[in-house]
Amino acid sequence: MNIRTVIVDDSDMDRFNLRILLKRCPEISVIAECATASLAVETINREKPDLVFLDIQMPGGSGFDVLEKLLHAPHIIFVTAFDHYAVRAFEVNAVDYLLKPILLERLKMALARVPAALGQEEEMRPAGRPLAQDEQLFVKSGGRQFFIPVSRISAICAAGDYSQVLLPGQPPLEVRRRMTEWAKFLPEDLFLQVDRSLIVNRTQIRGIERLSRTSARLSLANLEKPLPIGRAGLESLQKALPSL
């Protein structure tokens, strides 16, 4: 794979350091470097790269200003010294967000998400092991890409060949992934598979409202509406969490 890449940063030293690190990543081909927002817009629209490492604070405009003026839409990895930009970076669906000084191991983690963003994989997950609570998950939903902290997921519900990822304060994300796949790589110490159609975050369980011997509603701390569960789900919850 040859990922055509542009580096945008007003600091000569930071561009140099990132370029040196990227030389150790054979899939990356750096085709241009830019020190200002205006030059970045011109270069990205002309060269149409696959990936841009984009600084946020620069003379003549921010990294977010650059995005608003692009005619070509590359995938973005934000690079900055200020972590308070992280929330907004994820709002514009950045592949990742790197804090300076950049470490090679962290850079490689970010680059591992790029093939997924380029459409060569449905979602990114570490191969051969479950995710850890402090890791983040890259998913595609509705033609957009999302980068989700694993611990922020409230629940996952089955929806045919798809599943819905429930997060606090936002609409569900519909993801092309079966429940059996989720169960294989979500951390068992954080998530409980209630039944074949529902996985919930253990730390967010607040209570069960029994409707009958075979049905109930499960309340989670960060979701407004309780989730319906059947007899199998009730039995599973009672076994896993007898104090409920």
The DSSP code for 124 is: B
Cα gap 34→44, rounded to integer Å: 10
**Above pLDDT 90, what percent of the chain?**
52
pLDDT value at residue 125 = 46
Give 90-125 pLDDT, tens digit per residue: 556 678 889 999 999 999 999 988 865 565 444 444
Domain(s) labelled CATH 3.40.50.2300 in the chain stretch across: 3-117
Domain(s) labelled CATH 2.40.50.1020 in the chain stretch across: 136-240
The yes or no reply on domain 136-240 and CATH 2.30.110.10 is: no
pLDDT value at residue 122 = 42
Count of beta carbons in the 10 Å neighbourhood of residue 21: 16
Give 186-221 pLDDT, tens digit per residue: 999 999 999 999 999 999 999 999 999 889 999 999
> Does residue 129 have a pLDDT over 90?
no
Mean per-residue pLDDT for 153-160? 94
pLDDT value at residue 128 = 45
> Does residue 143 have a pLDDT over 70?
no
CATH architecture of 3-117: 3-Layer(aba) Sandwich (3.40)
**Above pLDDT 70, what percent of the chain?**
86
pLDDT value at residue 102 = 95
Average pLDDT, the chain: 86
pLDDT value at residue 77 = 93
Q: Which residues of 97-126 are buried (b: 16+ CB within 10 A; e: fewer)?
A: bbeeebeeeebebbbebbebbbeeeebbbe
> Does residue 136 have a pLDDT over 80?
no
Decide if 213 contacts 159 (C-beta within 8 A). Answer: no
Cα gap 226→150, rounded to integer Å: 21
Query: Which has more pLDDT, 182 or 242?
Result: 182
Going by C-alpha positions, the residue among 72, 43, 67, 42 that lies closest to residue 54 is: 67
Give 33-62 pLDDT, tens digit per residue: 999 999 999 999 999 999 999 998 888 888
Query: Which has more pLDDT, 174 or 145?
Result: 174
Judge if pTM exceeds 0.75.
no
pLDDT value at residue 107 = 95
